[in-house]
Every structure is written in C-alpha cells, then in structure tokens.
C-alpha cells in the first residue's frame, strides 16, 4: 500500500454496532477534515431513497470553496469499530463488505478510482492531534479505509458521492437510518451556506424524523413535497420519558428541509417501526383530526399475550364484557398495526381514525404476532354464535 502524503484527509464514517438485544445498526456520516481546514462548505444536498430490500440509497453533493489548489487524498473509513476487532465481528453486524454497495465519488466532474487500506496506516503519520490520535486509534485502528486522490482547484470545487448501506434492524424497528451532521462544525466556516436534505421513503411507509437539530430545541421546518401527512410531537403531547419526535407517512413525494447558514448541534436519525402503533403519545391527543392511542388496545389488547400473568388474565376476563364488534377490532389490531387493508368497511373505518394506520396491499405479518390473541378471541366469538 502506498504511503499517504496528503495534508488533508476527508472522512466519511459508517458506524455499525450491536447491543445486548442484538440490535444491528448502520450509519452514514458527513465529510470532515482531520486537520485544520482552509475549506468552507458553500452548499450541501443530501438525498435518502429507501429500497425494497431495506438498503438506503444515499447521494450527497457538496460544493466547497478552497483557498488553494493541490492534490488531496480524500477518504472515508468503515466501519468505526466499537469492538476494535472488525475482523472477528459477527456476520451481519455491518462489518462485512455487503453492508455498503456501489460507492462512487466524482470530483469536479471526474469519477475517481477508489483504493482500500487500513486505518492504522493513517495513524502516527502526523495527520492528527494527540487527542485525535488516541480517539481514532481506540475506535478505528482496525477499520478499512476507502480513499482516492483528487485534484482540487482554488475556488469552487464539487464532490459528489453516492452509496447504499443497510439500515439497522432491531426488536422494535424494521429500519434505522443515521447520518452525522455535527461534523459540519469542523470546517472553516462551521456551517453550510446552503443546505438541503430529502427523505424519500416507500409509499405508505410510516417513519420518524428528528424534531430538532439544535440544542435550543427549535423545531425543524420539515415540509412534504407531494401528498401525505406529518405530525410534530413535542413534549406537551408525549408521556413522561419520551423525547420530541416527528412522524410522516406519504402517498407520494418526499419530505424536505432547506436552510441557509445551517449549523446543527444534533445528527439525523430516522426509523421505521416494526408495527405502526405509536407509543408514548398521550391518550387524549388528537392532531389534524387523527387519534393516536386507543384505550381498548392499550388496556386490553396489548395484554392478551400475557396469559398466566395478572395483567393478561385480567384482560382475558374483560373480553366477555365487550361487544362483538369490539372483539373483532381487538382480534384485528395486530393486522392493522402492520397496515393490513381490510375488506370489511367497519373495520377499515375504525382504524382509519388513527394517524398510524395506512392500508397497504403488500404486508407480511409474522404468525407469532397474532396467533395467541386470535385464538383467544375466536373461542369467545364461536361461543357467542352458538
């Protein structure tokens, strides 16, 4: 591997980790300079496009202003290794090469050739301050480095890169997607003069967005370009212990945020819940004509899986007091949470009063989600028919 002799390296990071519950994460990061930079960010546009296979296609277009010309080595490292042992990380955690696909970079209109090395080749070469040297050695010493050389000119330069990466999968979420923005502060101007971020999820997908990018809690002015609904849930609408969040669902189009002089204190995060029922919203909250919570499900339905426990046995006893329609509603709640398109008009109308419900022709619902509940309620309905 050739010795790197550039005076500036730019870093994109994709973080992968897992916790005790085997939550798998992947993260894309902003370009940052590893030494004091004479470059400012004039413009940045980020686009996220979710694929059917759970990979997120990401494209990022930068316009930089450089005070001098020269050949620079531009690179990114993946993954920053929390275990400091990427070679021995379990398959599927994001440490394998399949986690990133189709990485491509174009500098000033010319596609550049990617080379691959190890992060330890960058250490002890004078690129970092002592503090940075320690941090990167602890986190990234065994990580891979993808890098390329680029001829930058004095004045305006464009760096466009695109890649696909696998989102997180956890007990509660079908996908988690992150992008680190706070490293904008590492550049000379510590902001982006003209910033835009676009999130394009699949049709009818329910997904979260950050409520704020700033320490003062100022809400992000998300806008829908197309047809859909978006709700901003501040702490007054949430139960104790829940953080502000935004939820959106789109029939078509995308969600966008644009800003001048963008200087974030927080990073981007979006998740797609495993089931669509939104927890944490106060039971009496109604926004844009939509309800969020249902006492029937909260107090009875969600406890039916706890048969043999006090809460479960109490919920089962309560079933006998319900009407036949209420039983049918509870029986079908697991399907509604996954977006099932009901043929029965009364059921469809009932669930349509909730923000989280959006009928979808293509849904897969694991049997374990509903089998115990359906069995319990079907026995009661069968007895009533007799």
Taking 90 as the threshold, does the pLDDT of residue 236 lie above it? yes
Q: Can you give the pLDDT at residue 5?
A: 28
> What is the pLDDT averaged over residues 358-372?
81
Taking 50 as the threshold, does the pLDDT of residue 190 lie above it? yes
Q: Can you give the pLDDT at residue 295?
A: 94
Angle between helices 367-385 and 324-337 (to 10 degrees): 170
Distance CA 297, CA 98 (A): 40
Going by the DSSP 8-state scheme, the letter that residue 377 receives in this structure is H
Residue positions counted in the chain: 386
Q: Name the phi and psi angles at 229, rounded to 5.
A: -130, 145
Distance CA 337, CA 356 (A): 8
Answer whether 142's CB lies under 8 Å from 119's CB: yes
Q: For the segment 83-101, what is each residue's pLDDT rounded down to a tens digit?
A: 333 343 333 333 334 467 8
Enumerate the H helices of the chain as residue ranges.
130-140, 295-299, 310-319, 324-337, 345-351, 367-385
Q: For the segment 294-341, what is each residue's pLDDT rounded down to a tens digit?
A: 999 999 999 998 888 999 999 999 999 999 999 999 999 999 998 899
Q: Can you give the pLDDT at residue 163?
A: 84
Chain position carrying tokens 């990466």: 165
Helix and strand tally (H, E) in the chain? 6, 19
Q: Can you give the pLDDT at residue 139?
A: 63
The β-bridge partners of 46 are 60, 197
Q: Can you give the pLDDT at residue 3?
A: 30
Angle between helices 310-319 and 367-385 (to 10 degrees): 40
Distance CA 363, CA 341 (A): 9
Taking 80 as the threshold, does the pLDDT of residue 227 lie above it? yes
Q: How many CA atoms lie within 13 A of 223 on its CB side?
A: 6
Residue 127: pLDDT band with limits 50, 70, 90: low
Distance CA 354, CA 357 (A): 6
> Where along the chain do its domains lie?
10-273, 286-385
- For the chain, what percent of residues have pLDDT higher than 70? 79
Q: Can you give the pLDDT at residue 78?
A: 56
Output the six-digit token pair for 236.
């007054």
Distance CA 112, CA 95 (A): 24
Output the six-digit token pair for 46.
């980020």
Q: For the segment 6-17, what is each residue's pLDDT rounded down to a tens digit?
A: 223 444 333 322
Indicate the fold that domain 10-273 takes in CATH.
Immunoglobulin-like (2.60.40)
For domain 286-385, is the CATH number 1.20.58.1690? yes
Answer whether 227's CB lies under 8 Å from 251's CB: yes
Taking 90 as the threshold, does the pLDDT of residue 275 lie above it? no
> What is the pLDDT averaged over residues 33-41?
62
Give the lowest-confidence range in 11-15, 147-151, 217-221. 11-15
Chain position carrying tokens 């669509």: 276
Taking 50 as the threshold, does the pLDDT of residue 178 lie above it? yes
């Amino acid at each position: 591997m050739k010795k790197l002799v550039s005076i500036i390296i730019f870093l994109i990071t994709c973080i992968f980790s897992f916790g005790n519950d085997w939550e798998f994460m992947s993260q894309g990061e902003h370009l940052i300079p590893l030494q004091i930079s004479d470059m400012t960010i004039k413009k940045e546009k980020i686009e996220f496009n979710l694929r059917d296979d759970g990979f997120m296609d990401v494209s990022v277009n930068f316009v930089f202003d450089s005070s001098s010309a020269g050949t620079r080595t531009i690179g990114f490292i993946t993954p920053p290794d929390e275990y400091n042992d990427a070679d021995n990380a379990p398959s599927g955690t994001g440490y394998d090469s399949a986690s990133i696909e189709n990485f491509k970079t174009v500098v000033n209109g010319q596609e550049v050739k990617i080379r691959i090395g190890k992060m330890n080749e960058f250490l002890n070469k004078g690129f970092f301050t002592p503090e940075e040297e320690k941090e990167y050695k602890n986190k990234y010493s065994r990580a891979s480095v993808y890098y390329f050389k680029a001829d930058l000119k004095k004045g305006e330069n464009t760096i466009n890169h695109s890649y696909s990466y696998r989102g997180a999968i956890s007990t509660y979420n079908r996908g988690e997607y992150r992008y680190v923005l706070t490293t904008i502060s590492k550049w000379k101007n510590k902001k982006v003069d003209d910033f835009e971020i676009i999130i394009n999820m699949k049709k009818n997908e329910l997904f979260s967005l950050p409520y704020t990018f700033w320490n003062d809690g100022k809400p992000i002015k998300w806008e829908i370009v197309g047809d859909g609904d978006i709700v901003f849930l501040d702490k007054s609408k949430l139960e104790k212990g829940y953080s502000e969040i935004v939820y959106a669902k789109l029939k078509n189009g995308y969600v966008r945020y644009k800003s001048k002089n963008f200087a974030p204190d927080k990073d981007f995060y979006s998740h797609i819940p495993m089931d669509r029922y939104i927890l944490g919203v106060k039971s009496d909250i109604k926004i844009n004509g939509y309800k969020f919570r249902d006492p029937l499900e909260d107090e009875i339905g969600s406890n039916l899986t706890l048969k043999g426990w006090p809460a479960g046995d109490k919920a089962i006893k309560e079933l006998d007091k319900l009407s036949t329609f209420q039983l049918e509603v509870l029986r079908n709640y697991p399907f509604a949470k996954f977006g099932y398109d009901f043929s029965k008009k009364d059921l469809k109308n009932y669930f349509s009063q909730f923000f989280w419900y959006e009928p979808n022709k293509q849904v897969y619902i694991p049997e374990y989600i509903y089998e115990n509940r359906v069995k319990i309620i079907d026995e009661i309905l069968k007895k009533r028919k007799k």
